[in-house]
Structure 1
């Protein structure tokens, strides 16, 4: 478990639902619950909050035992749209609160670069008790500094791209200094990192899979990781990474795989403009 600056705890390994079709979401999330996951990550952009909500209700698991994250879609940054879409997210998820609500992308090229007023709306959700914690996703250092300069509260989480080939070190170091929990999306590097000889050798050494090595690295580095999989066996494999312990030599070898910007798989947040 990872303790957030808001005082709430967040399971350090979650189940991601990016690109999971709405028709498949409920069954896959139910499957994840059966494996043992209690942290589900979704987003308005993914179009599958309804499936997550169905799985949440049908699971019979007490609501307080499940950590739900969703994110504000890019066209919804304006205050009224943010409020309307958040209310719809709660209806979709069939809950009266989410554990974590994030701005999905900063979009400095839109809304006159004003994500500050958007974050202030998120803060109101927290003060109303409809979001236990709020944060950001894909924010660079300058974006967070802009929030703080405007008097906003510290984001509880920054969910960013991190995997062995792209370790996003400057942003990670800044977040650590500010007490912001770092959450990794695409923690397995879309599979490319798993083929690296360093990862493969470490997997052989510990008699585990390459994916388990990479997820164990995330956990050892105190990142929250949200891998996704439609396969029950792979869900179990990923979850079992909680039992894998890497030594100092392993961690140093994986740190050495960082390619900096060359390893980034997604657009830089200052360039991402999908609406």
Structure 2
């Protein structure tokens, strides 16, 4: 099983030709980790971008996520096969449950068993979850056993640091992938982050991504501009001082952005 590259490209809200061009540019500038989902509606464009770059499949780490409507026993596997057709690959590297079903319409045991079935059928190399709380994560581990779930993908940025969930994941040997790391651009105007960025002569985005990476998280920022994609890559080699890490930790304010009506009761 391959490791997840620590810095990837998220594709939430990228549609049509914009998604195609952004992913193609990312791959051309050195990214090897692309994250998408069925509900994003861009798997076909991403698949075409991957194909058009001619990138070797073994050099790419590709993640997609199964949407709530497809969690049932009759729809799960067919939906994954449809994703693979759109992505133009025989398997993804990581398949996630996008959101836990809090309605009780589909039991967790049912959709997690389908997730494992997808892996056994060779549709994905690794499996994981997204937006799972501590309680849900423990329930999933109880169903699947330990050392099965590769990652829990959750919202993480300076204004929502999700420390309890992160620490619980680490204790269980589960990687954390942080999405919306730049808080949909809110961090760019932050005076504390601007000051730290000026000290290092880098962008605010680089500081925030380095802050996540330095915690041992995987991060998947989204961008459509070549210059931003390139500068974001620099965060992998950027080292923040302990005092700077503390300064950023103090920006926590519980500002949750991804909070739809079907969300679980957050920790």
Q: Same fold (TM over 0.5)?
A: yes
The whole-number CA distance in structure 1 between the counterparts of 2:256 and 2:17 is 30
Task: Check whether the contact 1:108–1:115 (CA below 8 A) recurs between aligned residues.
Answer: no
Q: Secondary structure of the residue that 2:152 maps to in structure 1?
A: strand
- Residue 118 of structure 1 pairs with residue 98 of structure 2: no
Q: Pick from 10, 14, 17: which aligns with 2:8? A: 14
> How many residues get paired?
263
Task: Check whether the contact 2:80–2:123 (CA below 8 A) recurs between aligned residues.
Answer: no
Cα distance, 1:151–1:241 mapped onto 2, change above 3 Å: closer
Q: Deviations over 1:97-125 (max 9, x none)?
A: 1000000000212415x122101111111
User: Mapping of 1:1-275 within 5 angstroms?
Assistant: 7-111=1-105, 114-152=107-145, 154-259=148-253, 262-267=254-259, 269-270=263-264
Q: Which runs of 5+ in 2 are unaligned?
A: none
Q: Which runs of 5+ in 1 are unaligned?
A: 1-6
Q: Deviations over 1:82-140 (max 9, x none)?
A: 1110010111111111000000000212415x122101111111122221100000000
Pairwise CA distance, 1:22: 2.3
Task: Check whether the contact 1:42–1:71 (CA below 8 A) recurs between aligned residues.
Answer: yes
Task: Check whether the contact 1:184–1:226 (CA below 8 A) recurs between aligned residues.
Answer: yes
Q: Secondary structure of the residue that 1:164 maps to in structure 2?
A: coil
Pairwise CA distance, 1:80: 1.5
Task: Check whether the contact 2:141–2:149 (CA below 8 A) recurs between aligned residues.
Answer: no
Tell me how large the CA RMSD over aligned residues is. 1.5
Q: Secondary structure of the residue that 1:150 maps to in structure 2?
A: helix
Correspondence for 1:3: none
Cα distance, 1:134–1:190 mapped onto 2, change above 3 Å: same
Q: Secondary structure of the residue that 2:240 maps to in structure 1?
A: coil
Pairwise CA distance, 1:58: 1.4
Q: Deviations over 1:175-209 (max 9, x none)?
A: 00000000000011111123222111100111111
The whole-number CA distance in structure 1 between the counterparts of 2:236 and 2:118 is 32
